[in-house]
Chain A
Amino acid sequence: MTAFLLPRKKKTTAGDFGTIIEAGKADQFSLNSVTAFIRGKFYLCRLEDGGFLAVSRKCTHLGCTVPWSDKEKKFVCPCHSSAFDIKGEVISPPAPRALDVYHLYIENNILKVDTGKRTKRSSFNIDQVVYVKKAS
């Protein structure tokens, strides 16, 4: 009977074809900017130091979609007014933890985001940021 009640198994898993989104070349994104990827349900954030983060658009409080306010330089949730900074860190509650991040990597000089791999995190950590290696 439980078979009727439980959710069907997902057909796609992390790393499969179809969950990876090519974001583009690193120099397409200016410093301290946020770009929305609607199909991938994430924001590509470029920090001031040039590092990249693929941040989930889903508020960690109750799952509303957080819009980026370029004027205030923060994400403000329209549902219960949680706020997050460009790194996804909580500025004001009720959100209990930082926005989730997606697996981001660089292949052939192109930023790619695996939307099948979402990681929960309690707060921002420098290890989460991906940097472009300087071409020497």
Chain B
Amino acid sequence: MRREHNPSPKTTGFFHQILRSIFPDPLIPKSDQERRRYLFKNLILHFRPSTVPEKTLKFSLTWGLGGMAALLIILQFGTGLLLKFVYIPIPVSAYTSIQVLQNEVMFGQLIRNVHHWCANFLVLIVFLHMLRVFFTGAFHPPRQFSWIIGLGLFGLVLTANFTGYLLPYDQLAYWAVTISTGMLEYIPAIGNRLQEIIQGGNEIGPATLSIFFAIHTAVVPMGLIILMAFHFWRIRKSGGLVIPRSSEEEIEKKPVRVTTLPHLLLREVVVALVLIAVVMMVSVFFDVSLGDSANPGLSPNPTKAPWYFAGLQEILLHLHPLFSVFIIPLVLVVTLMGIPYLKYDTNTEGIWFASIKGRRMAMIAGLIAIVAAPMGILADEYLIGFAVGLSWIPNFFGNGLIPFAFIFCGCVGFYILIKHRYSATNNEAIQALFVFILVIFLILTVTGTWFRGPGMKLAWPWKL
């Protein structure tokens, strides 16, 4: 059979020989065995498994999110590479180089748009991917460490977005980065030093820009490549994706498998093409703006964080900086990293929302959060005024420790209540608490993005 596709050298020409030396195997495999072999031998495809469990092909298991994230990262590499030829990482020149890019370089604005929108989509998609993994219980052993690597990748994506934010060196960039690096000051003991290192001095300037450029164009891409390889490898070693099942079904030991080529690959290509089409449409119709050149003497009003940090910004408005900048993010990150290593009553891998009851509990937790979070924001804005009403005690307690303890006890109380009310497994109760915190964070993000006007006062979106 192999001879058919490997004709003797006599019948082939010189160029054909060279082609064969690059692609020794037939380009169009015909049988399943050949397809498996093809995948195995192909440089780009060989990191995929040659066969996958048939049930994991179901779109509603993954929603194609992991693949989309990988594709977006590749698009970022491509567009970033082009941008790098035009961009100059020096203050003021940076700004003018973006003007040149937009006005003089053919398709410059378009490429900048693609880079910008892909970056935004990437945050969204990686976040949704994380939710998908959580809600299908795909963090139980043996997939525990994939979750941790995934969090690392999420961190890198946020770092990429954050460092990229400064590069245009317009007002938006300058002040967003001033505020974010200002936050570092509140990290106990090392904060001041850390801020100086990241800014390359006492304030945002040429040193900051060159540091951010280095992180954005070298450190992050390298980190992404390493962690992505690690992530994919862990998935392979865990025997592929979780196999979807209902809560009555046992975990399948020997699932039916189909060849990756064409079953999985075809689906991936379709998702990829649709995503590229969406990205291109958005990039054609929505230009990314370039504000006024950075002016250290004038903070615009309001100065808002990008939407993916709007939740954090909202916490900043309400609490003492030590809590909003250091303690709460630290607690959140440690909790997220702890998720796969908690001791669970059952292994719910492959079951959406752990069980039917889990789904109902998650919905109720979400509804409570939808009511509670806006009420909390309004109360803090108009009624309580922790810092003012309690001015006789230090800001640290009145605006920090007391509300933080209140929130913390609220979360613990919520967990205990919902676990007893539904006599649920801890899988279901932890999931409910996760949804509760998640929805609160989403509401904070929405508030920070759409409901904050001049002076960071609450305002209607159509009046901004």
Contact = CB atoms under 8 A, between A and B. Distances in A.
Nearest to B199: A7
User: SS class of chain A's interface: helix, strand, loop or mixed?
Assistant: loop
Contacts of B303: 64, 78-79
B178 A64 contact: yes
Interface size class of B (residues with CB under 8 A): 20 to 34
Nearest to A38: B297
B139 interface: no
A80 B456 contact: yes
B274 interface: no
Contacts of A8: 200-201, 207
Interface string A20-53: 0000000000000000001001000000000000
Interface in A93-125: 93-94, 96
Given A64-B175, A79-B175, A7 B301 contact: no
Contact of A77 (B297, B299, B319): B299
A61 B321 contact: yes
Interface residues of A, number: 25
A10 B207 CA distance: 12
A63 B178 contact: yes
Interface in B258-305: 296-303
Interface string B173-200: 0010011011100000000000011011
A13 interface: no
Interface string A61-85: 1111111000000001111110000
A1 interface: no
Nearest to B318: A94
Nearest to B201: A7
Contacts of B50: none
Contact of A7 (B183, B200, B298, B321): B200
Contacts of A76: 455
10 contacts: A62-B182, A64-B299, A65-B296, A67-B298, A79-B303, A80-B316, A81-B457, A93-B320, A94-B321, A96-B395
Interface of B: 175, 178-179, 181-183, 196-197, 199-201, 203, 207, 296-303, 316-317, 319-321, 387-388, 395, 399, 454-457
Query: When A and B form their complex, which 5 residue pairs have the shortest distance between CB atoms, in order from nearest?
Result: A62-B182, A78-B301, A63-B182, A64-B299, A62-B179
